[in-house]
């Protein structure tokens, strides 16, 4: 017999179509089939869902992404079907003025160092604020039609890769 390697896994098994909603809201464009610790859950697709205003890891308000920096936000669902978000550390960008042309100075941003046990990542957002952009804060700044020189890239996942994929 072969060992059971997926016992108790946490993963999303569908592409959820993560996207900006209107203003500060978020959209999960497709039903999410996911598991936390091996137990199956379903989240029904919904547009314009309120974004959290506090980080699931710290319980505090999200740290503003300031001009010349970027970071990754991990978007997930808990067992109750609530959208939760965890912010990774800020990473310096090159000197490009626009978030759409700015590159990460050293390496792609990192994900948070740990995630809660009752949390299944379904995607992540890489946010870049160019050198001439204004500070941007998850949950209170516009996600849709972001301010000038701010760029958001949405990525759906089944499991998080080792680092955000930025190309």
- Asked, for residue 112, whether it belongs to a domain, the answer is yes
Q: Please compute, for residue 52, the number of CA atoms within 13 A of its CA located in the half-sphere on the CB side.
A: 22
- Reported as a single tens digit per residue, the pLDDT across 58-104 is 999 999 999 999 999 999 999 999 999 999 999 999 988 888 888 98
Q: Identify the domain containing residue 58 by its residue range.
A: 11-156
Number of domains comprising the chain: 1
- Asked, for residue 99, whether it belongs to a domain, the answer is yes
Query: With bands split at pLDDT 50, 70 and 90, how would you rate the model's confidence at 1?
Result: low
Tokens representing 106 are 């050293």
Tokens representing 94 are 């090159």
Percent of the chain exceeding pLDDT 70 equals: 95
- Reported as a single tens digit per residue, the pLDDT across 112-136 is 999 999 999 999 999 999 999 999 9
- Asked, for residue 165, whether it belongs to a domain, the answer is no
In terms of DSSP bridges, do strands 32-36 and 46-49 run parallel, antiparallel, or are they unpaired? unpaired
- Asked, for residue 16, whether it belongs to a domain, the answer is yes
pLDDT of residue 96: 87
Q: Is the pTM of this model over 0.85?
A: yes
Query: With bands split at pLDDT 50, 70 and 90, how would you rate the model's confidence at 108?
Result: confident
- Asked, for residue 113, whether it belongs to a domain, the answer is yes
- Mean pLDDT for the stretch of residues 8-35: 95
- Asked, for residue 6, whether it belongs to a domain, the answer is no
CB 66 within 8 Å of CB 129: yes
- Asked, for residue 4, whether it belongs to a domain, the answer is no
Looking at the predicted structure, is the pLDDT value of residue 5 above 80? no
Task: Tell me the DSSP string of 93-120.
Answer: B-S-SSTTT--BSSSPPPPPS---TT-E
pLDDT of residue 90: 96
Rounded-to-integer distance, Cα 142 and Cα 134, Å: 12
């Amino acid at each position: 017999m072969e060992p059971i390697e997926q016992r108790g896994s946490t993963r999303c098994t569908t592409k959820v179509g993560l996207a900006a909603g209107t203003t500060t809201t978020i959209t999960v464009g497709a039903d999410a089939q996911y598991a936390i610790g091996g137990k199956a859950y379903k989240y029904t697709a919904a547009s314009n869902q309120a974004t959290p205003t506090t980080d699931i890891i710290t319980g505090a308000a999200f740290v503003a992404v300031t001009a010349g920096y970027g970071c990754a936000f991990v978007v997930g669902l808990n067992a109750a079907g609530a959208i939760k978000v965890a912010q990774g550390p800020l990473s310096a960008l090159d000197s490009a003025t626009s978030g759409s042309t700015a590159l990460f100075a050293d390496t792609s941003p990192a994900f948070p160092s740990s995630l809660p046990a009752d949390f299944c990542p379904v995607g992540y957002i890489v946010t870049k604020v160019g050198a001439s952009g204004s500070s941007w804060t998850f949950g209170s700044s516009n996600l849709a039609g972001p301010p000038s020189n701010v760029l958001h890239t949405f990525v759906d996942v089944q499991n998080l890769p080792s680092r955000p994929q930025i190309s």
